[in-house]
Structure 1
Amino acid sequence: METLFYAVPCLMLAGFGYAAYLLVRRARRINRTWTHGLTAEARCLRMYTTTSGGGGDTSVHTTLHHVYEFRARDGRTVRFEEEGGPATVLEGDFATVHYLPELPQQATAKPPAPGRLVAGTGCGLVFLGVAGAFCVGFMLVAHEIFAESNGLMP
């Protein structure tokens, strides 16, 4: 039983660490795309929304998705989907996309906003850090409880 109070928080810590890694990797990729990437004119082929949440007493969250297509400098036609784009871009509109030549399918039509990227990544990392600190605190409290009770549940 005691192992459960250590195993679950350790698994959660591993998950938080992996999420932090993915968050930083994504931010670095987007920043590199904005600063060192190429630009192209893309056409919005499709725009749609997805919703999450149950409604009723819980809130419903709507996410806007765009599907873009552009021709890379090497002549390939690239199609990609991006969520969270501006609501002002409609089907048939043209937008400037930024892409890395080696990863054109991971292009972005979002305009460069490094401050917003840093703030969003920082907030995500703070949230994951607080959740990780809670797990560590839980394990320390559980250790004290088990140490006082000689390994038996009170």
Structure 2
Amino acid sequence: MIRHGIMFVIGGAVLVAASAALGTAVVRGIRRQRRTLARGLTAEARCLETYVTHDGDHSSSTRHVILGFRTQDGSEIRIEDTSRVPRVVGDVAQVRYLPDRPHRAIVIGSSPMIFGWTLLTIFCLLLACGSALSFMKGYGVFDPTHPTDPSTVFPNPDDPFPTFPWPTY
């Protein structure tokens, strides 16, 4: 039988690692977008196609816009416009791209998703903190049910028969 604390250690370690990986991916995405907008090359993109997808029960739909542009070296690139600007086939938009990654172009003037990324980063931090507490609880370092008053944790040194309030499992 696995001890109760081991499950907290394993679960906490897995969640700390997952939240760290997710947080790292979010920060990399923010840095990549800022780098593209700051140092990217500008190109003129045209709306090539629009289509709508529905979820399984048709309660919501998503409109997709495909933009196409030509890089400075002559390659033709197609990207999906995530700016939510309503476009029709033939509309023109300006994009920025890095020469080594033109498929990650960003539409100029689209609002950056900093708010969403900030919320996701805060979620990752909260998940990491909660997971770390779970990890510490498994090791016995942190126990919210254990009294933290020093007079109850460390008994009076003059007491010949001290009782320690250790939790019983």
Between the aligned partners of 1:53 and 1:7, the Cα distance in structure 2 is: 36
Residue 47 (structure 1) shift? 2.4
Listed as ranges, the matches of 1:5-16 within 5 Å are 5-16=8-19
Aligned to 1:73, the other structure's residue is in SS state coil
Which amino acid in structure 2 is aligned with residue 97 of structure 1? V
Question: If the length of structure 1 is used for normalisation, what is the TM-score?
Answer: 0.76
More helix, by proportion: 1
Q: Aligned pair in 2 of structure 1 residues 121, 45: CA closer, same or farther (>3 Å)?
A: same
Check conservation: 2:9, 2:137, Cα contact below 8 A: no
- The equivalent of 1:135 in structure 2 is 131
Q: Distance in 2 between matches of 1:105 and 1:31?
A: 16
Counterpart for residue 47 of structure 1: 50
How far apart are 1:70 and its partner, in Å?
A: 0.4
SS of 2:15's equivalent in the other structure is: helix
User: In structure 2, do the counterparts of structure 1 residues 52 and 140 end up closer, same or farther at CA, with 3 Å as the change threshold?
Assistant: farther
Give, in whole Å, the separation in 2 of the partners of 1:38 and 1:126. 32
| Equivalent residues of 2:37, 2:96 under 8 A apart | yes
> Unaligned regions of 5+ residues in structure 2, if any?
146-165
Which of these two proteins has the greater Rg computed from alpha carbons? 2
CA contact (8 A) 1:70 1:78 kept: yes
Q: 1:65–1:85: 8 Å Cα contact kept in structure 2?
A: no
Shift of 1:135: 1.3
Query: Normalized per residue, which structure has more strand?
Result: 1
Identical pairs, percent: 27
Q: 1:91 to 1:126 in 2, by over 3 A?
A: same
Tell me whether 1:3 sits opposite 2:6 in the alignment: yes
Question: Could you say which residue in structure 2 is the equivalent of 1:125?
Answer: 121
1:85 maps to 83
Q: Distance in 1 between matches of 2:128 and 2:10?
A: 14
Q: For residues 61 and 92 of structure 1, what CA distance do their matches in structure 2 show? A: 26
Contact 1:66 1:85 in 2 (8 A): no
Asked whether the equivalents of residues 44 and 89 of structure 1 are also in contact (C-alpha less than 8 Å), the reply is yes
Q: Aligned pair in 2 of structure 1 residues 5, 122: CA closer, same or farther (>3 Å)?
A: same
- Measure how far apart 1:50 and its partner are: 4.3
Q: C-alpha displacement at 1:127, in angstroms?
A: 1.3
C-alpha distance 61-128 of structure 1, shift in aligned 2 (>3 A): farther
Q: Which whole-Å CA distance do the structure 1 matches of 2:133 and 2:119 have between them?
A: 21
Within 2, Cα distance between the matches of 1:52 and 1:4?
Answer: 37
TM-fit CA distance, 1:119: 3.8
Question: Cα deviations across residues 104-138 of structure 1 (Å, max 9, x unaligned)?
Answer: 1111125265xx55444332211110111111223
**What is the root-mean-square deviation of aligned Cα atoms in Å?**
2.6
